[in-house]
């Protein structure tokens, strides 16, 4: 029997305890006032010191998921990790997560990689595994999305960030992925990549910023077209932004998301689903949607849609920065957190989601959220509300201290001897209680981890 209503039955998020204010970075970088805050739409940027890496944050968020939802470790049959933050060219991050499942070694799945898109593909794999295997396995799947976004000194450094999301996938879920409604766009591009070779190892990508932004929008157009075509074929439905209660997008910075809403608004106006403002109507028909005047006009014309469908759910993105693979799904976390105070409704909420990764890979899909008094959904809302509140309990450091931490990460990466993370002994750099940390790297480059106790650590809660 094919399982019904496969989707999310649990969700957890983990982000750094450390952050730097973008307005202070503007001053420290001698950037124009508002360049990072107004121009990019960012408030703060989260970052990890050298005692946390992609494995440790994946361990942390997966353990939090298991504990928060009291998941039986024997009930998991599939686990995939989506990440572009690689610390080994062969050994998967997923292999390290197996230490969390005791004697259950019968768990399929490995890592999935394609820039910021890999996490969404890991979720798709988790959904498809449950759909294909539930009748014979009767077990759930987990997808982990984890990344650390750091850039070399220069104009792109302010677009960093970090975080991790883990989702439990199973049938009869409160958050259901609409079957068949995946609009996909894939292409071979060189807008953002992390080459091997060329001297010292580096966490920093090679970025063609303007080209990357254009490819993001091209992929958005194509995914929207494909999604609408499939909705028409499968459901006889004409799709527009008005078809959804929320719209979420991959967010390298939140001003990019506002531009994305403007882009979809344009196609809706062109196809007669909504009215544009007078300024936009004067520009139509438009031959170049990337032209500065057009982009500005689209943002103004779509201001209502952005404020109602998207902006309220960008709080983690504004205050953590570009998380790469988790950046889309933390908007779902924020939506759940903010809906915790809303009255329940028997009518499911419908959310449009757009995932993008340079290189490029992208997808548009949608989920239905059963907003009735469902125990699983109520638990998710509670956990997500706590995660959102935790933004207020972070350690905000100066730009100068942030740069010192980035130097620590470089020293770890360039070390040719055994290495003990420097942040372990520095009180202002301690993670949240309950986090896993990197304790050492051996001469043979093996990494060792331990968990910080859940109780108060080093004077921090």
For residues 374 and 348, is the Cβ–Cβ distance under 8 A?
no
Closest CA relative to residue 394, chosen from 50, 44, 55: 44
Helix-, strand-, coil-residue percentages of the chain, each rounded to 5: 40, 25, 35
Which residue of the set 84, 305, 315, 376 is catalytic? 84
282 is in an annotated binding site: no
Q: Roughly what angle, to the nearest 10 degrees, separates helices 329-339 and 375-389?
A: 100
- Whether 360 is catalytic is no
381 is in an annotated binding site: no
What does the alpha-carbon distance between residue 301 and residue 188 come to, in Å, rounded to a whole number? 33
Which residue of the set 52, 96, 116, 315 is catalytic? 116
Q: Residue 460: what pLDDT?
A: 41
What does the alpha-carbon distance between residue 453 and residue 280 come to, in Å, rounded to a whole number? 56
Q: Residue 400: what pLDDT?
A: 98
Name every residue whose Cβ is closer than 8 Å to that of residue 114 and which is 6 or more positions away in sequence.
84, 121, 357, 359, 361
Name every residue whose Cβ is closer than 8 Å to that of residue 136 and which is 6 or more positions away in sequence.
none
Distances in whole angstroms, Cα of residue 263 to Cα of each of 155, 250, 282, 283, 370: 25, 14, 16, 14, 29
Distances in whole angstroms, Cα of residue 434 to Cα of each of 53, 196, 323, 440: 15, 34, 20, 18
255 is in an annotated binding site: yes
Q: Residue 339: what pLDDT?
A: 82
What tokens does 196 get? 């091997």
Q: Residue 7: what pLDDT?
A: 98
The label of the residue with tokens 């202002």 reads: 428
Q: Where are the beta strands (DSSP E) in 171-315?
A: 175-186, 192-193, 206-207, 246-249
The total number of residues shown for the chain amounts to: 461
Q: Residue 461: what pLDDT?
A: 41
Closest CA relative to residue 155, chosen from 208, 191, 119, 114: 208
For residues 387 and 331, is the Cβ–Cβ distance under 8 A?
no
Q: Residue 340: what pLDDT?
A: 56
- Whether 84 is catalytic is yes
Which residue of the set 12, 96, 223, 250 is catalytic? 250
The label of the residue with tokens 């899909």 reads: 365
Which residues does the chain have with pLDDT short of 70? 340-346, 456-461
What tokens does 288 get? 């170049």
- Whether 52 is catalytic is no
């Amino acid at each position: 029997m094919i399982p019904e209503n496969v989707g999310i039955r649990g969700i957890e998020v983990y982000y750094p305890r450390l952050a730097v204010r973008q307005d202070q970075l503007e001053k420290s970088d001698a950037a124009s006032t508002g360049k990072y805050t107004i121009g990019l739409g960012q408030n703060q940027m989260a970052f990890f010191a050298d005692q946390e890496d992609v494995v440790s944050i994946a361990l942390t968020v997966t353990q939090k998921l298991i504990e928060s939802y009291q998941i039986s470790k024997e009930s998991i049959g599939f686990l995939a990790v989506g990440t572009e933050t690689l610390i080994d060219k062969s050994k998967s991050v997923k292999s390290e997560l197996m230490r969390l499942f005791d004697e259950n070694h019968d768990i399929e799945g490995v890592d999935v990689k394609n820039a910021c898109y890999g996490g969404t593909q890991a979720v798709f794999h988790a959904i498809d595994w449950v759909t294909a295997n539930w009748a014979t396995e009767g077990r759930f799947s987990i997808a982990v999305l984890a990344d650390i976004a750091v850039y070399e000194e220069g104009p792109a450094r302010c677009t960093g960030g970090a975080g991790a999301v883990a989702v439990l996938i199973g049938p009869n879920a409160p958050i259901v992925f609409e079957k068949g409604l995946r609009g996909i766009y894939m292409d071979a591009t060189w807008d953002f990549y992390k080459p091997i070779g060329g001297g010292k190892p580096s966490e920093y990508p090679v970025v063609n910023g303007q080209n990357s932004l254009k490819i993001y929008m091209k992929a958005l157009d194509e995914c929207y077209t494909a999604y609408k075509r499939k909705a028409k074929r499968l459901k006889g439905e004409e799709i527009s932004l008005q078809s959804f209660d929320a719209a979420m997008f991959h967010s390298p910075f939140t001003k990019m998301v506002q531009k994305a809403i403007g882009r979809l608004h344009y196609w809706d106006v062109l196809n007669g689903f909504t009215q544009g403002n007078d300024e936009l109507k004067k520009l139509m028909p438009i031959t170049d949607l990337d032209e500065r005047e057009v982009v500005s006009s689209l943002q103004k014309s779509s201001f209502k849609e952005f404020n109602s469908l998207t902006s309220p759910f960008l709080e983690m993105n504004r205050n953590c920065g570009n998380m790469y693979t988790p950046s889309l799904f933390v908007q779902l976390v924020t939506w759940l957190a903010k809906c915790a105070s809303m009255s329940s409704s028997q009518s499911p909420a419908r959310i449009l989601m757009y995932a993008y990764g340079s290189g490029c890979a992208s997808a548009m899909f949608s989920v239905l959220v059963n907003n009735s008094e469902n125990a699983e959904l109520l638990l998710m809302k509670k956990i997500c509300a706590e995660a959102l509140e935790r933004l207020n309990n972070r350690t905000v450091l100066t730009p100068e201290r942030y740069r010192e931490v980035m130097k620590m990460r470089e020293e770890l990466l360039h070390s040719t001897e055994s290495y003990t993370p420097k942040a372990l002994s520095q009180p202002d750099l301690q993670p949240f209680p309950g986090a896993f940390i990197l304790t050492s790297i051996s001469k043979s480059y093996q990494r060792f981890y331990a968990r910080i106790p859940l109780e108060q650590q080093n004077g921090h809660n």
